[in-house]
Every structure is written in structure tokens, then in C-alpha cells.
Amino acid sequence: MIVFNLRCGDGHTFEEWFGSGSEFETKIDDGSLTCPECGDTHVAKALSAPRINGGAQTPAPSTPCGMPACGTGMCQMMGDT
């Protein structure tokens, strides 16, 4: 899911959720996207960065010894003899 800040021809701003950016384009094209305040179909994206749902940053994977080789399974300190 992705949310866009939208603005109609009258300057009303509102948020709308879409399954994807292409779904937004489709709704713009067929005119099914309307301003909830005045019903205007001249809706465009407002200048604002879109938010991605659940877009938390994933932390870097921790490795046993901290060496880059650990992530590749080539670590000399694993001791799997």
C-alpha cells in the first residue's frame, strides 16, 4: 500500500491510499479519483514524499565476529571443524 498527498483543482488537499503507483495512474486516467470536499476530478499529486506502509529500515545483519567474510560463510572464526 502507498499513500499519496493529493490536491484538487480548487486547492483542497487530501490523502488517498493505493495498492501501487500504477493504480493511482489508472484512477487518474479513468476519472474515478475525486476530491472528497468538492468532487473535482482534476486531482494531482501534491508535492510531498509518499510514505510506504511498514517501511521500517531493516538493521544490518549481525555477524559472529563482525568481519565482512562472516556474511558469506567464509569466516575463519566460525570454528566449524
Q: Which CB atom, from 38 or from 77, has the smaller least distance to Zn ion?
A: 38
Yes or no: say if 43 and 35 are a contact pair by the CB < 8 Å rule. yes
- Is 27 a residue that touches Zn ion (CB under 5 A)? no
- Is 8 a residue that touches Zn ion (CB under 5 A)? yes
Q: Which CB atom, from 45 or from 70, has the smaller least distance to Zn ion?
A: 45
Q: Which CB atom, from 8 or from 33, has the smaller least distance to Zn ion?
A: 8
Kind of pairing, strands 51-52 and 44-45? unpaired
Yes or no: say if 27 and 33 are a contact pair by the CB < 8 Å rule. yes
**Separation between Cα atoms, residue 51 and residue 31, nearest integer Å:** 23
Binding site for Zn ion (CB under 5 A): 8, 10, 12, 35, 37-38, 40
